[in-house]
Amino acid sequence: MSPSELSVRALSAQVRSGSLSAEQLVQTVLARAEAFARIQPQAFISRVPDAQVLQRAKAIDAELAAGVYLPLAGVPFVVKDNIDAAGLATTAACPEFSYQPIRSATLVMLLERAGAVLLGKANLDQFATGLSGARSPYGVPHCVFNRDYISGGSSSGSAVLVAAGVAGFSLGTDTAGSGRVPAAINGLVGLKPTRGRWSNAGVVPACRSLDCVTVFAHSIDDARCVDEVLAQFDATDPWSRLVPAPTHDIDVTTQRPVLVGVAARANLDFSGDMQSAALYDAALDTLKRSGAELVEVDVQPLLDAAQLLYAGPWVAERLEVTEALLKARAGAFHPVVRGILQEARLVSAADAFRGMHALQAYQGVATALWRDIDMLCLPTTPTTFRVTDMLADPVQLNSILGRYTNFVNLLDMSALALPAGFRSNGTGFGISLIGPAWSEPALFRAGSAYEALLQVSIPPLEAEPRAATIELAVVGAHLQGQPLHWQLTSRQAEFVCRTQTAPAYQLYAMAGQQPAKPALVHSGVQVGTAIEVEVYRLGVEAFGSFVAEVPAPLAIGSVQLADGRTVKGFVAEPRALAGALDISQFGGWRAWRTRPPEEL
């Protein structure tokens, strides 16, 4: 069974018919989960014990035997770990925030009542803040086709576990694009329904007024199967909305062509990624062949509205859940997330009203669009990035990923992210069909017509563990341009990134060392500083030989980086500080060595 063969409708039909038992299906999936754990162990944060999963599958088989109709019978699924599931901790990718929910989120209960089988909780950008998938203390999930590249976030683990064939579908959440960006990069369908179409009860809020739970699946029909179960009003959720009778539904098979707005060329920016630009043009050709009529529109006002999400007052809404922990234990947060939340404290009530008024003006522009078109088609993301690049420039690159997604929830739209091919490096490119609130039926129909004509070759999954490597942080004489750097290059060490330690260290210039060397000492978050380091990746044997050459009073221990990861790195014995000079205020060895004469 390949990943794409985990069809929600087909598998549930087989289980209901008895040609495949839920127990047999689950046994296959558990074996696949175990194999994938050797490739990307960071995809899951927690898993339901195998024995419980099998017990659940047997119970489903018994219900079916008793004549109970289960629309999702036996289909395995996972949920993002900001969604409650009884029996599993909810962490939101922050261990210090973790709690044990008393009951599952409404959506999890609905899925289980429909016969779906929960496998576990998936990794995410901490507190669903980010679109990269690289902001979690549990590790960085990677694109399933090329692990040098990001998975996209914040619903990172949810996407890769479906793309890898571990789950038939998964739930994510979406405030800025988190249910769509990972779908594009991993070749999936991502449905971001209208706000309030699905319940948010039992979901850790990011921006409560904007959040949506989303689904990742292999096809539009799979996403529609999940929507059929979940699209219902929930009185326990203050933000839930009654699903109205269809008011924006175009039957593309019998009525006029669906009118699809496409961005004017001046609105498009692919960040220099010419393959993305070519794939977008090819997707538009496929849409035309499916019967759609393309209408060029100016989407710049929508792109301007998108800036309100992080540059406007809505960022302050993210403090609702996190503020108490931020005050008590700021060090519990991923550094990038902490920076965003600390900036949010500066937003005033007046800023909030100014933002609301600005958004209302943009809403008028968006409403006017729907008089001329039925839906928009935009790239889901302009491009994608290597993990190392994202770690080195987490804010700017994240902003690029959200160029075409950030405005959708702000302006109360629904969206369907669809695959549109793959770049030569194996990473996925996608388009998004975007409509007004409650336009899901029209999006499904237009998307299905497109999907039926789409012909792409799916790259092979990276299905084998890579050769064992160890990441090493260097802080002084082994930096690029420094006298001992050759000890890394002679071992074919791969440069990963230039970054900083967590703000918990002090750096000393040791006395009497030839060549000159620093000592890095952990001093705690209350008095520590972030120190510049370079991270390299070495094979296990090369790492062992490198460690053997490290002279006392230095040693190799564990160093925490600014992104929350822990890697191997230089540490120092207490005797290293005898006669040493504290140079922490310079932020790194290179800055100390190149300081101006007046600072000598």
Of 154, 170, 219, 240, the active-site residue reads: 154
Query: How far apart (Å, rounded) are the C-alpha atoms in residues 225 and 71?
Result: 8
Of 80, 121, 517, 568, the active-site residue reads: 80
Residue whose C-alpha is closest to residue 117's, from 85, 66, 73, 83: 73
- The three-state secondary structure class of 585 is helix
Strand partners, 469: 539
- The 554-560 sheet, strands edge to edge: 494-500, 532-539, 469-474, 566-572, 554-560
**Cβ density class 15-43: b for 16+ within 10 Å, e for less:** bbeeebbbbebbeebbebbeebeebbebb
- The 189-192 sheet, strands edge to edge: 44-47, 117-122, 76-80, 169-174, 212-217, 189-192, 413-422, 428-436, 375-379, 259-263, 293-297
DSSP element (H, E) containing 262: strand 259-263
- Token reading at 496: 């990963």
- Token reading at 190: 């991502």
The question of whether 457 is a catalytic residue gets the answer no
Contact between 536 and 488 under an 8 Å Cβ cutoff? The reply is yes
- The three-state secondary structure class of 342 is helix
Q: Which residue in the block uniquely carries the two structure tokens 């393309």?
A: 294
Query: How far apart (Å, rounded) are the C-alpha atoms in residues 529 and 504?
Result: 5
User: At residue 448, what are phi and psi to the nearest 5 degrees?
Assistant: -65, -40
Q: Distance of alpha carbon 124 from its chain centroid, rounded?
A: 6
Q: Distance of alpha carbon 303 from its chain centroid, rounded?
A: 21
Of 132, 155, 158, 178, the active-site residue reads: 178
Residue 254 is which amino acid? T
Contact between 450 and 287 under an 8 Å Cβ cutoff? The reply is yes
Query: How far apart (Å, rounded) are the C-alpha atoms in residues 336 and 19?
Result: 50
Query: How far apart (Å, rounded) are the C-alpha atoms in residues 367 and 372?
Result: 10
In the chain, count of helices (H) and strands (E)? 20, 21
Residue whose C-alpha is closest to residue 187's, from 435, 378, 4: 4
The question of whether 178 is a catalytic residue gets the answer yes
Residues in Cβ contact with 527 at an 8 Å cutoff, skipping those fewer than 6 apart: 506
The question of whether 80 is a catalytic residue gets the answer yes
Catalytic (active-site) positions: 80, 154, 178
